[in-house]
Amino acid sequence: MPGKTIYIADRIFTGETWLKNHAVIIENGKIVEVVPISALSSSQRVEQFPDCFIAPAFIDLQIYGAYGKLLAVYPDTDTIYQLKDYCEKGGAAFCLPAIATNTIETFYKCIDAVKAYWEKGGEGILGLHLEGPWINPAKRGAHIGSLIHPPTIKEAEELLSYGKGVIRMITLAPEVCSKGVIDLILTHNIVVSAGHSNATFDEANTGFSNGITAVTHLYNAMSPLQHREPGLVGAVMDDAAVMASIIPDGYHVDYAAIRIAKQVMKERLFVITDAVTETGEGYYPHKQVGDKYEADNILSGSALTMAKAVKNLVDHAQIELGEALRMGSLYPAKVLGMREHGKIENGYNARLVVMDDKLEVKHLI
């Protein structure tokens, strides 16, 4: 099979089921076959990963920086390469760098950095996730209050025009954004996610009806589920289609709360790292405190990788391994409409992660 690469591991997780004694055959960046090992000829060259399994590579839809370089502080291609390296070490072949509430000039510089990275042939960076500034100050968390504001149509038009093709996801509070702004964002094929929001149950549902298809870091910085006011948490749990990210580090959300949300939301719940990095510059002086980060003594980000997030789901939230893997690959792919990602199946993207039984990343294909 000239030009084809064959990979074998103890098990293969296809995104739907586990296979033993099978091989994955890849050609030109695509999966062309998944076949029993017995179907291979002895003359074919294979790469074997003993005591490991192969699964679809992870996709992180919210990460801010790595190795001391926060993208908002260092909006350049070197930061993006560093961020990509961090993601790959955690089994994520694809990521969506995020920018928290900031100045419009910073957003533009980050957009320029992604464009420059792509022009150099850089891969794996899907675009940008803007988290703010169109959020509710009552649920700002570590976001800078002085920069938070409701958007005008003019402001949104200018930002979306400048970031055309780069901005892929925007987190906003539905109760502070008009339907006109949301409609405008959607015309640019950008995923709108509700977050840092104090929306009532009805306001959240109105947002979903207006085209909001996701919720950012479930439970954190949003109106909670209460028996007389279900809030944004209750609204997304009650909805049949809207998906939500969650940060499984044990600090942002108790593992029992993750388990409860998973039982209710099933395939609509996916993981992000929300990973930041230590920095003393810019609006967000993140300081590492144990396995989390704080800014001005407020929880501001995680120290997760996607592999660690998946391991935490299995070890602490009692989520079955296959489902935890889907939460890190297939479901984020669904959020962004990446139809050929998240499965090991003919015609799908061939970026794969190799992990051992301790759920440590051994290789990224």
Q: Is 259 exposed, middle or buried (0-12, 13-18, 19+ CB in 10 A)?
A: middle
> Which residues are within 8 A (CB) of 25 and not within 5 positions of it... i.e. 6 or more apart?
1, 4, 5, 6, 31, 32, 33, 34, 35
Bridge pairing between strands 46-56 and 352-356: antiparallel
> From residue 140, how far is each of 148, 219, 318 by CA, in Å?
8, 13, 31
Tokens of 228: 């007389």
Tell me if residue 238 is catalytic. no
Instruction: Give me the count of residues in the chain.
Output: 365
For residue 61, the SS3 value is strand
Which one is catalytic: 76, 249, 274, 296? Answer: 274
Cβ atoms 197, 174 nearer than 8 A? yes
Q: What is the distance between the alpha carbons of residues 95 and 324, in angstroms, rounded to a whole number? A: 18
Cis peptide before 133 (omega within 30 of 0): yes
> Which residues are within 8 A (CB) of 340 and not within 5 positions of it... i.e. 6 or more apart?
347, 348, 349
Our CA angle for 351, 354, 358, nearest 5°, is: 145
Q: DSSP alpha helices (H): ranges in 90-200?
A: 104-119, 153-162, 179-187
Q: Please identify every residue annotated as catalytic.
A: 274
